[in-house]
Amino acid sequence: MAKDIEVGGHGGEYAPKDYQDPPPAPLVDAEEMAQWSFYRAIIAEFIATLLFLYITVLTVIGYKSQTDPTKNSDACGGVGILGIAWAFGGMIFVLVYCTAGISGGHINPAVTFGLFLARKVSLVRAIMYMVAQCLGAICGCGLVKAFQKTYYVKYGGGANELSSSYNTGTGLGAEIIGTFVLVYVVFSATDPKRNARDSHVPVLAPLPIGFAVFMVHLATIPITGTGINPARSFGAAVVYGKQKAWDDQWIFWVGPFIGAAIAAFYHQYILRAAAVKALGSFKSSAY
């Protein structure tokens, strides 16, 4: 099977590929803004994020209600941390599966940011996706509050906050690493090279992405409640409206964006050897 590149041989020319990388997305694509598919994708991101927050926040609030010691509830009742992690991971699996062919199934500003850095989406599309995701998150949490206002306010509105047992550095590190895992899996699961060369091992892309979200939640719920999605943290904070939901809000933006940037760099420039390819092209043109 042909190698990706061949540096130093045949004048530094690339060897034939058995897969085709899509061309880099332009920074600003005026043509896409005149197409219905662009706005359809934005709507899909809005609705998907709304549904994501509605189901997951309801799960968190339901668990806290079922284990509330003031109600003489069973401390071991409810879905537990495992169930909450399954709710987040399972919803991502379902929603990415539904929207992948329409919007790419981002449902997360950090994922969108990572794909933008890798030139998978244009700047305009990235911004519009992030706005739609944040608005969808606000509406999803708003629906939960509208239907169960008493429980919503009493049990914290599903808002992310740094646990008192951990310092800011630990919380930020958890968000960076957790988001790196997620975005790295997104890149790997959607890599055209992988799809071509591992076609004998079919992989449904939403499945590993959902499992990544599930695993990260298991690890970081005790630390930050698990953000790894700025829209999820922002929407819950906006609707809940209490100061404690905003105290550490910056962690849930800075951490995921740093993690996404590292994942994009690692996949594109290390695993996919973009830096080596660029160097090989430079050497061949220097003669």
Residue by residue, DSSP assigns 37-90 as: HHHHHHHHHHHHHHHHHHHHHHHHHHHHHHT-GGGT--TT-SSHHHHHHHHHHH
- CATH code, 97: 1.20.1080.10
Domain range for residue 132? Answer: 32-67+74-270
- 283 found inside a domain: no
Structure tokens at 16: 């034939």
Please report the pLDDT score of residue 282 as a whole number: 41
Structure tokens at 175: 């968000």
- How many CB atoms are closer than 10 A to CB 37? 10
86-112 pLDDT, tens digit each: 999 999 999 999 999 999 999 999 999
Please report the pLDDT score of residue 70 as a whole number: 80
Percent of the chain with pLDDT over 70: 83
Give the count of domains, the chain: 1
- 61 found inside a domain: yes
Average confidence (pLDDT) over 42-51: 98
- 4 found inside a domain: no
Is residue 122 classed exposed, middle or buried when 0-12, 13-18 and 19+ CB atoms within 10 A define those classes?
buried
On the question of pLDDT at 81 being above 70, the answer is yes
- 16 found inside a domain: no
Report how far residue 10's alpha carbon sits from residue 84's, in angstroms, rounded to the nearest whole number.
Answer: 55
- 20 found inside a domain: no
Please report the pLDDT score of residue 193 as a whole number: 75
Q: Give pTM, 2 decimals.
A: 0.86
**Mean of the per-residue pLDDT values of the chain:** 86
Please report the pLDDT score of residue 29 as a whole number: 81
199-236 pLDDT, tens digit each: 555 568 899 999 999 999 999 999 999 999 999 999 99
Average confidence (pLDDT) over 54-83: 84
- Residue for token pair 């997360």: 108
For residue 4, the SS3 value is: coil
Report how far residue 182's alpha carbon sits from residue 121's, in angstroms, rounded to the nearest whole number.
Answer: 18
Q: Indicate the pLDDT class of residue 287, thresholds 50, 70 and 90.
A: very low
- 238 found inside a domain: yes
CB of 206 closer than 8 Å to CB of 105? yes
Report how far residue 252's alpha carbon sits from residue 171's, in angstroms, rounded to the nearest whole number.
Answer: 9
- 154 found inside a domain: yes
Please report the pLDDT score of residue 74 as a whole number: 67
- 136 found inside a domain: yes
